Amino acid sequence: MSTSKSAKLKTKLNIEKRAARIKQAKDLIHQKSKSSLMNNVKWHALFEILAFREVPFQLKRINGSDLKACSFIRELESSALLIDDSGDFTEFLEIEEVLFAKDSDLITELESIGVFFEFRDQQICIPGYQWLN
């Protein structure tokens, strides 16, 4: 198989995998009766700040149990980001929470863009969802 055909196949598989994860995330949100606290504009603004300030963070997806560490953002789209070299983008709607170290300047910036946050064990936690019940 030529390199261009191989690249096209890989891109097609990544798109299909991404679409399946989006569907799974939407199903989980509906099943768990969660309401979104963030929208794509706020997520994008948050990740722009973290990238600009080079803040390492941890991210938890709603369809996973582990935290993924990120030292820098590889790519940022309007509704997704790439945090590693896997090629697998994380859609903003998949994000259950983001954690990073407390910083008073960051707190001011979060407040300025209207992002809800809480403190947890000397970290700032940005929840993506809240329970409806």
What does the pLDDT read at residue 106?
Answer: 94
Contact 84, 68 (CB under 8 A): yes
pLDDT above 80: residue 10: no
Once rounded to an integer, what is the mean pLDDT over residues 73-82?
96
Strand pairing class (123-127; 95-101): antiparallel
Per residue in 13-72, pLDDT (tens digit) is 777 887 887 788 777 777 776 678 899 999 999 999 999 999 999 999 988 889 999 999
pLDDT above 70: residue 121: yes
What does the pLDDT read at residue 24?
Answer: 80
What does the pLDDT read at residue 41?
Answer: 96
pLDDT above 70: residue 9: no
- Give the domain ranges of the chain: 3-131
What does the pLDDT read at residue 3?
Answer: 59
Contact 59, 100 (CB under 8 A): no
The burial of 80, by beta-carbon neighbours within 10 Å (0-12 exposed, 13-18 middle, 19 or more buried), is given as buried
pTM of the model as a whole? 0.81
Query: How far apart are alpha carbons 35 and 55 in whole angstroms?
Result: 27
What does the pLDDT read at residue 40?
Answer: 94
